Structure 1
Amino acid sequence: MKTILIVDDEPRTREGVRKALEAWSGGKYRIAVAESGVEALEWLRHNEANLLVTDVRMPEMGGLDLVEEVSSFPHPPVTIIISGHPEFDYAKRALQFGVVEYLVKPLDKSKLVQAVELALQREEELNQIGRMKKLVDTKLLETFQNNKIYSPPVEEGIRYIEEHLGEPLSMKEAAEQLHMNASYFSVLFKEQTGLSFTEYVTRRRIQRAKELLGGTGLSIGEIAERVGYQTDKYFVKVFRTLEGMSPGQYRKHVSAPGETIQ
């Protein structure tokens, strides 16, 4: 269940926003409240919110100071600012922190709901972008950027890897298939792709494994086999070395509810 945190030092506004959003959400969202920026910051240190709706002027810590503080958090919420005045300086600073909407009191309930729906849509888009970034191996991506043109032997080598990714692969076997000297092919491949043959194969296998982890319900063992690893244990070791987490942990990071295909 996604969480919306409402922060306002004025009880009437705070409760009015809470009641309006509870009526709109129909129990689909958790609605939390805080009476000050300081209280909200402490809450956010121990809890995660998807959306922050905060007043801009509050004692001790204003809304924009709160937004600035949480912007460095691992998963900062998207934000809607509410204010008693349409102040340009506040609005300008709000834009710098990626605030989705700036609403002026007295709040129109329909405009509040529209802003919340827009903000939650933006939050989901950011999550999807984050999941996609986790799927991509940047070093592999670099080998195909800038319209690189590979020599025919290297292109054939890459094609051979793709066609045999789920099988045992060695640079010597690939060179033999291409009728080339293994040492020369090794130097040529590294020179043009920036990766050794072995590193390329490893990264391509883990990239494919990441796609399967994020898009299917296959078991870790089935994925290991599909990408050319004979044992789960070795696959997990290689995956952890490259990604800094186990395949199971990675799957939890990139798979949103309802997105996996069984």
Structure 2
Amino acid sequence: MKTILIVDDEPRTRLGIQKTLVAWSAGKYRIESAASGVEALAWLETNSAHLIITDVRMPEVDGLEMLETLASRGQLPVIIIISGYAEFEYAKKSLQLGAFEYILKPLDKTALINAVQRALELVDSRERHDAMEKLVDPKLIEVGRDEARYGTAIKDAIGYIYAHLHEAISMKQVADQLHLNASYFSVLFKEQTGVTFSDYLTRRRLQRAKELLVTTSMPIWEIAEKVGYQTAKYFVKVFKDSEGISPGQYRHQVLDTDPSIQ
């Protein structure tokens, strides 16, 4: 569930925005509020918000100072700035700091909801982008980039792994295929690629699994088989250990492209 944080020192405005968004979201989003920039920053130390709607003028820490602090922390979410002051400098500064939109009080409910919808579309877009970046394993890119300087045995090993990824292959099996001692092959593989055979095989399996999750509608058990895992349960465990989410969650995260809010 995505979280929207409302920050405004004026109780009537803060509660009005919260009431409007709670009614609009119908439980789809978590709506939180803070009565000051100080309170919001303290809350954000232990919580996260996908969207912040903040007043620009508040005592102690105003909206712009809050943005600067969040940016310095590296945790700047999507921001909508609200203000009763139609001053261009505030708008310009907030946009320079990364604010998504600047809207004026008194707030029109329809305009507010429209701004929130567009802001949440941006949140979704960022999440899809992050998920797609995770599709590519940087270590595999590195191994592939350096492949030209590998010896023939390692090049052949990599080719064999790729061709037999759907099988339950082992290091000994690949070493035997190359007519090499397994212990010697293990050392040689790590020496040339910078990763162990086991790590490379797992990364290659998960890379292929991600591709199938994103480009096909295959069930999880079938994908597990396609990438060489004998049971879906073990595949899910390996995937989750590596990515922090299950294969099903990963697929949903990458493919959830519906920009509408039901």
RMSD: 4.4
Normalising by structure 1, report the TM-score.
Answer: 0.68
Cα separation, 1, equivalents of 2:145 and 2:99: 33
Deviations 1:3-45 (A, max 9, x none): 2211111223223322332343234323222111111222223
Deviations 1:106-165 (A, max 9, x none): 32332222211111011111112222233321121245569x9799x7876644322201
Pair 258,162 (structure 1): closer, same or farther in 2 beyond 3 Å: closer
Letter of the structure 2 residue corresponding to residue 172 of structure 1: A
Contact 2:168 2:230 in 1 (8 A): no
Normalising by structure 2, report the TM-score.
Answer: 0.68
Q: Are positions 1:167 and 2:162 aligned together?
A: no
Pair 155,257 (structure 1): closer, same or farther in 2 beyond 3 Å: closer
Cα separation, 1, equivalents of 2:242 and 2:199: 19
Q: Secondary structure at the match of 1:82?
A: strand
Pair 31,163 (structure 1): closer, same or farther in 2 beyond 3 Å: same
% identical equivalent positions: 47
Letter of the structure 2 residue corresponding to residue 34 of structure 1: A
Contact 2:55 2:83 in 1 (8 A): yes
Q: Which residue of 2 aligns with 1:12?
A: 12
Structure 2: any 5+ residue segments left out of the alignment?
A: 257-262
Contact 1:51 1:119 in 2 (8 A): yes
What is the aligned length? Answer: 247
Letter of the structure 2 residue corresponding to residue 208 of structure 1: R
Q: Which residue of 2 aligns with 1:83?
A: 83
Cα separation, 1, equivalents of 2:19 and 2:197: 60
Q: Which residue of 1 aligns with 2:245?
A: 250
Letter of the structure 1 residue corresponding to residue 245 of structure 2: Y
Contact 1:213 1:247 in 2 (8 A): no
Cα separation, 2, equivalents of 1:217 and 1:75: 35
Cα separation, 2, equivalents of 1:248 and 1:158: 23
Contact 2:128 2:253 in 1 (8 A): no
